[in-house]
A and B are shown apart, each in its own frame.
Chain A
Amino acid sequence: MPNLETDSKLVTDEYKYGFETLIQSDALPKGLNEDTIRAISAKKNEPQWMTDWRLKAYRRWQKMKEPRWADVTYPPIDYQDICYYSAPKRDGANAEAIDEEMARTFERLGVPLHERNALAGVAVDAVFDSVSVATTQKEKLAEMGVIFCSITEAIHQHPELVQKYLSSVVPVGDNFFAALNSAVFTDGSFVYVPKGLRCPIELSTYFRINAVDTGQFERTLIIADEGSYVSYIEGCTAPSRDRNQLHAAVVELIALEGAEIKYSTVQNWYAGDDEGRGGIYNFVTKRGHCRGRKSKISWTQVEVGSAITWKYPSVILEGDHSVGEFYSVAFTNKKMQADTGTKMIHVGANTRSTIVSKGISAGHSRNSYRGLVQILPSAANARNHTQCDSMLIGSTCSANTYPVIECENETAITEHEATTSKISEEQMFYIMSRGIDEESATSLVVNGFCRDVFKELPMEFSVEAIKLLEIKLEHSVG
């Protein structure tokens, strides 16, 4: 078996997902031009309409400027120094060995891909660098009429759905990173839940960046047809490397009349080392569209990784009586920078939105909440409640909030509450006086602070999130 090592190495103890899978990959050379896009499209054997769509996006992107308004600083990104396509190489003889190695990598990340080990009640799509490597529980889902597959497969198998909904929520030219993603996206998940079905299985995608200097540009599209319900979970990790890597995803959610989509994320990309070297640039556009009456979209995110996060999962509340929710915990440490929040655009009458944001900064990090609540003239009786809390650990970090409320209908009611606090000496003393050590005491206070968000996560995921935050906090005290 030439050129294939099956050993992985652990780069750092602190970030236990920091190992690299040594595997031969089939990659395009670095750089971006129309040929790169044609090559990606060709590798995926895409129909002409898809190639054209990508090229249009690329031409659009070329005319756009990288946004720099966020409260983050980083050196210029050389878009010609990035590899836009990398896939585990599978050629006849070693295909099976590769599949095993992939499965082992995901097992190690806590994501079982073999059907025999699969978690009951959860279906997983695993994305490794640029491609989806496995989707579990497909048959069971198919019986119910649920389509859950990689976006690549959807382009081939369900072109009518993809053509109808792709970029219908995040237009190609929405922003610089969305345009880039549209041009070069390689894989991601596709979900369609048929009318009236309450999907009993949690759908989950696990994203893993492995290759060096490779960007991950995933594209996720979820459609909940009338009266349906789906809960979708995504998790992300990457090896610890001393160079930055770009992750620019686009996620679009569409909820038709009476449908509900619950989207949960635990983002734990590599965040860089103590000096701020390396880590993922996480520049993501996530948007949901409550298209029908009484539809509901709920975003819950636990953001504990990435060197830089630029992410605003939003909801367009078009259907009357539709509901949008955003629950967020963003933890930054070391030299991490996060600029995250949401947009709630109220278009329909009697639309309601809730925003609960908890930012925790430690180390030398910078953590900003940026939010927009927009009530359009048509949104009679719209309501929004925003709760935006920041907590500081230590004295070298910072927290900022940039909330904007634009209200153009006088029957609307918006409420905004915000707090900034330090973990108080009195709280720490009180907890420690009960025998609990400093680290555990900090973690107790922080978990209490995040409770309103954690309780929105699916049960097992919530336990994971709490554990993850505890691990992250271990190195932030003292």
Chain B
Amino acid sequence: MSDADIKIVNLHARCEEKAILKGVNLTINQGEVHALMGPNGSGKSTLSNVIMGHPSYEVTEGEIWIKGQNIVEMEPDERARLGIFLAFQYPVAIPGVTVAKFLKSSTDATLGEKKKSATEFLKELRENMKFLEMNEAFLNRFLNDGFSGGEKKRMEILQMLMLKPCFAVMDETDSGLDIDALQVVSKGVNKLTGPEFSLLVITHYERILKHIKPDHLHVLIDGKIVMTGGPELVKELEEKGYDWIRQEFGQEVLV
């Protein structure tokens, strides 16, 4: 294993007193795209929040290794500066803070020494917005404030393009998107995919996986990854649902 791989080892996490993740093991080699599926309540969003360091979740056991560092004790901003990105399922609004101001602050913070001049930054931002078919008027809107579901998701991908993470988690980015928006979002993600970028796509639906092709697919049930397969598994899940997996794994994985 190289330092550039992402390795989650025996991860246990809880929210308040409730144990949600019960020993997740997952390795994403550098440059790979992995998909994570699973029924509601299985812990998918918890995993994404724990990877990013949400303060409401407590890691009780296990490790998350990225760039040769175990990040479980790090603050969310330190993780972001290490190159981790989370595309939120429900991005929150920050009233009074414009998209331009927010993106400048976040790119300056993550790029550190390498931060760009305002002109370079704006040029890159405009290019990315054009690529994601976003109107320039977005720059002066307040972040996620009054945005439609689709606009919020595009904004997440725009941030991802600007921050250029080495590892991104997309938490149900496809939920609630129409076909056109889904295509735009996928196009944005595929602009980043390559040998320097690892991705974990969390989803309920196979359709996004037609646009963003996973190398591996995992099924999370009751806080554990119970099945791992290749792209062919997507179709099987779509057709048969999760029950057959539950049956196969018996009592242990029943919710």
Contacts and interface: CB of A to CB of B under 8 A. Distances in A.
B121 interface: no
Contacts of A440: 105, 109
Nearest to B112: A435
Interface in A438-478: 438, 440-441, 444-445, 447-452
Interface of B: 52-56, 75-77, 79-81, 85-86, 88, 91-92, 94-97, 101-102, 105-106, 109-110, 142, 159, 163
Interface of A: 424-427, 429-438, 440-441, 444-445, 447-452
In the A-B complex, list the 6 residue pairs whose CB atoms are closest, starting with the nearest: A448-B96, A435-B110, A434-B106, A451-B96, A435-B80, A448-B97
14 contacts: A425-B55, A426-B92, A427-B94, A429-B54, A429-B76, A432-B76, A432-B77, A433-B79, A433-B85, A433-B88, A436-B106, A444-B97, A444-B102, A448-B94
Nearest to B143: A448
A430 B94 contact: yes
Contacts of A451: 95-97
A435 B163 contact: yes
A312 B79 CA distance: 46
Contacts of B105: 434, 436, 440, 444
Interface centre among A424, A430, A450, by most chain B C-beta atoms within 10 angstroms, is: A430
Contacts of A435: 77, 80-81, 106, 109-110, 163
Contacts of B163: 434-435
Contacts of B92: 424, 426-427, 430
Given A429-B54, A435-B80, A437-B77, A450 B96 contact: yes
Contacts, number: 81
Contacts of B101: 444
A394 to B, nearest CB: 15
Contacts of A448: 94-97, 142
B77 A445 contact: no
B56 to A, nearest CB: 7
Nearest to B162: A434
B109 A430 contact: no
A359 to B, nearest CB: 15
Contacts of B88: 430, 433
Interface of A is mostly: helix
Interface centre among A437, A438, A449, by most chain B C-beta atoms within 10 angstroms, is: A437
A432 B94 contact: no
Contact of A434 (B53, B75, B80, B96): B80
B118 to A, nearest CB: 15
A430 B92 CA distance: 7
B95 A433 contact: no
Contact of B91 (A424, A430, A447, A450): A430
A141 B91 CA distance: 53
Contact of A447 (B53, B55, B76, B97): B97
Interface centre among B76, B80, B88, B97, by most chain A C-beta atoms within 10 angstroms, is: B76
B95 A432 contact: no
Contacts of A433: 52-53, 76-77, 79-80, 85-86, 88
A268 to B, nearest CB: 22
A5 to B, nearest CB: 43
A425 to B, nearest CB: 6
Contacts of B102: 431, 434, 444
Interface centre among A427, A429, A434, A436, by most chain B C-beta atoms within 10 angstroms, is: A434
A445 B94 contact: yes
A346 B158 CA distance: 49
B80 A445 contact: no
Contacts of A445: 94, 97
Contacts of A431: 94, 102, 106
B141 to A, nearest CB: 12
Contacts of A424: 92
Interface centre among B53, B86, B96, by most chain A C-beta atoms within 10 angstroms, is: B96
A436 B109 contact: yes
Contacts of B81: 435
B110 A434 contact: yes
A422 to B, nearest CB: 13
A463 to B, nearest CB: 13
Contacts of B77: 432-438, 441
B111 to A, nearest CB: 8
Contacts of B55: 425, 429
Nearest to B75: A432
A452 B79 CA distance: 33
Contacts of A450: 96
B203 to A, nearest CB: 20
Nearest to B101: A444
Nearest to B165: A435
B110 A438 contact: no
Nearest to B56: A425
Given A433-B85, A434-B102, A436-B80, 10 more contacts: A429-B76, A430-B91, A431-B106, A435-B109, A437-B77, A438-B77, A440-B105, A445-B94, A449-B95, A451-B95
Contacts of B86: 433
